[in-house]
Amino acid sequence: MDSTCLVVDEMHPSLLPLLAGIGVAADYRPELTAAEVPGALVAKPYDGLVVRSKLRVTAELLARGPQLRYVARAGAGVDNIDEAALAAAGVTLLNAPEGNRDAVGEFAIGLLLNLLRHIGRADGEVRQGIWKREANRGEEIGGKTIGLLGYGHMGRSFARRLGAFGCTVLAYDHDPAVAPDAHAALVPLAEMQARADVLSLHIPYSAANHHFVNQEFLAGFQRPLWLLNTARGEVLDHAALVEGLQAGRLYGAALDVLENERLATLSGPQAARYEFLKSADNVLLTPHVGGWTHQSYQRINEVLVGKLGAFLAAAHGGGKE
C-alpha cells in the first residue's frame, strides 16, 4: 500500500473499498473519542487523517502526527480545521463540497417553498383540526429576486434549481476569482441589497465571516426579506435575526444551522433567542441536514477518494514525499 490513514468518524461503508482501490490502507476507528485521537497518531505512523466533525484539527494535534501528509475532511465545511496550521506543517487539506452540493441545492428549494407557502404551519394547523385557507395564502417564487451571499458550490447548486421558477437570481461573492455562469448574475453587494426579496446564505464560516450578516448588513436591504441559512450558524448574528423578525424587516427565516447547535449548552442569551425562534410561526428550523442525504453520504466518499488519489499520484510523481 502507498499510504496509511486513520479514519476517526463514522463513514459510509463504501469508504474502505474505495481507499483500497487507490492503494490506501485505512484503520477505521470511529469509536475513538476526540481526546483519544492524538494518542492514536502517536502509536502508528499514519500519513493521512480522515475526519468529519468529531474533532478540531489543530497545530497541537498535527504535532502528534509529524508524518501526516494529508487531512481529508469528508464534507464541505472546513471550519473545524486550522488551515494555517496545516500549511505551516506542509500538510495538504482535501474536502468534498462537490459531494453534497446537490443535496444542499435541493434542500434550499424546499425551505424556500415551505417558507413562502406556509407549509409547515399549515400542516400543524390541519393536524389540530384548524382549517385556515386565507391565513395561509402564500407567495410564489416566480417574479421574485433571490439574492445569494456566496457563489461557490452550494450557491451555484441552489441557483441552478431556481432557474425553473421564473425568478431573478443575483449573487455576491467577495472572491474576485469567482466566475459568472448562466444561473445567476454576479453583482456588487449594494446592488443585491437594493433588489433582493430573498437572501440565502452560502458562505463558509471563518473568523472573518463571524456574524458577517449582522444588524448593519441587514439594514442595507431596501425591502423586507425572507432569509435562508444553510451555511453555518455563526455567519449570522442571531440577535440581529430576532430583532429583524420582531420589527418586521424580515418576513420569515428558514434555518438549517444555528449559532450553537449543542442545544444542551446554550448560554442565557442563546437560549432566549432559541425560545423566540422555535415559537415563531414564520421560522423554520431543521437540524443541519441540508447536505445530509443517503446519496450525498456515499458521494462524499467518492469525491474525497478521487481527490486523494490525484494527490497521492502527484506526490509519487515528484511532489511532496
Active site residues: 232, 261, 288
For residues 170 and 144, what is the distance between their CA atoms, to the nearest angstrom? 11
Strand spans (E) along 124-212: 145-149, 168-172, 185-186, 198-201
H/E element, 43: helix 37-43
Instruction: Identify the three-state secondary structure at position 170.
Output: strand
Determine the residue type at 183: H
Sign of CA pseudo-dihedral 50, 54, 56, 60: negative
Q: What are phi and psi of 81, to 5 degrees?
A: -125, 130
- Could you tell me which of 2, 216, 228 has the C-alpha nearest to residue 104? 228
State how far the Cα of 303 lies from the Cα of 297, in Å rounded to an integer. Answer: 11
In one-letter notation, the amino acid at residue 197 is D
Give me the phi and psi of 11, to 5 degrees please.
-130, 160
Q: By the 8 A CB rule, do 231 and 206 touch?
A: no
Sheet holding 185-186, edge to edge: 185-186, 168-172, 145-149, 198-201, 225-229, 250-255, 283-285
- Residue 284 is classified by DSSP as E
Q: Kindly provide the residue ranges of all beta strands, DSSP E only, lying in 140-299, ordered along the sequence.
A: 145-149, 168-172, 185-186, 198-201, 225-229, 250-255, 283-285
As given in the structure block, the three cell numbers for residue 309 are: 488519489
SS3 of residue 36 by DSSP: helix
Q: Comparing C-alpha atoms, which of 12, 8, 3 is closest to residue 296?
A: 12
